[in-house]
Amino acid sequence: MNWSKAKTILIIVFLIADIFLFYELYPSAIQSRNAIDDEKVQEVMEYLGNKGVFVNCTIPKASRPKKPLSVKYKSFDSQFALEKFFQNPQDISIHQYEDKTIIEDEEIYLEINKIGELTYKNKQLMGNQSETIDDEMALSNIEEFLKIIGIMNKDIYDCTKIKENGYLKMHCSQGYKGTFLDHSYLEINATNDGVAFMKMLWFEIEDNEKNKNDIIHPLRALIELPGLYEDYDGNIIVNDISLGYYFNTDMEEVREFDMTEVKEGKAVPVWRINANVGKIYINAYNGTVEKKQKIVQNISSMV
């Protein structure tokens, strides 16, 4: 073996490695790369400002590739309801309708919508409660109730809590690995004695997709705004932009409570832009618009 030649090759290999590590790790190199990124952001902000679009939030970092999700609305049947919510089968009445099933007795009212929306009422706990709420006890009641219907803490994306009329009220949405899953909701009211009211529309997720696709930078999504609102007479104020999943039901003109068919399909990654003109969902794969909320003008301001 020609050791001299081999030694020369090794020296070249190590030299290339040193140069790569220098540019990847040396602070000045990193600062230079960030300065370029900041410059691009500033250019886009100036462009948007000239178009009447102003961003009042932090721009998220670029995301790693993501895969679409196979989803369907979580459904409940009468047998499940009878086993989980009722104690005396002989006292129960069941009413079947075209779009829903109602099961109830003297204490519990349960409504199962065909799309999967579930409404629960404890008649004895409905109405204003005079007792002071114990937060820990009410939360414990909520957690136990959610376990019954198969919802865990990791399934919840965000949640707001308020105390009102003797109830601890929670409004939540579903999440998937730290991102939102749109078209889902959970409303629940609890007392020290149990859950009084619950309404939910939730997804079952099949994590069976293998192919991940690149996600566009959020700046690419923001650039779409001027073209989407060319006829809007006013500034567009962006208050938040976040990455999540959007499930298109193709029934945007129908109120959620009126939908009667179980829907399932693909939920795709989107950049959701919350602005003063509404919510805009931009496909995070290709930049197309998945949904744009209509602008509702304040009539009094137009007079």
Report mean pLDDT in 10-residue bins for the chain, 303 residues.
Answer: 55 44 38 52 88 92 88 88 86 90 94 90 82 88 93 90 91 93 93 94 82 90 90 91 86 44 80 94 94 61 35
Q: How many residues does the chain have?
A: 303
- Buried b vs exposed e over 131-142: b needs ≥16 C-beta within 10 Å? eebeeeebeebb
d(CA 225, CA 151): 36
* Tokens found for residue 41: 């952001």
d(CA 224, CA 232): 14
Contacts (Cβ under 8 Å, ≥6 apart) of 267: 68, 69, 70, 71, 181, 182, 203, 245, 246, 247
106 within 8 A of 123, measured Cβ to Cβ: yes
d(CA 146, CA 168): 15
Q: Return the sign of the alpha-carbon dihedral for residues 179, 199, 136, 87.
A: negative
State the pLDDT at residue 110: 95
Per-residue CA distances from 21 to 17, 30, 256 (Å)? 6, 11, 54
Determine whether 244 is exposed, middle or buried from the number of CB atoms within 10 Å of its CB (0-12, 13-18, 19+): buried
194 within 8 A of 144, measured Cβ to Cβ: no
Contacts (Cβ under 8 Å, ≥6 apart) of 232: 277, 295
State the pLDDT at residue 208: 66
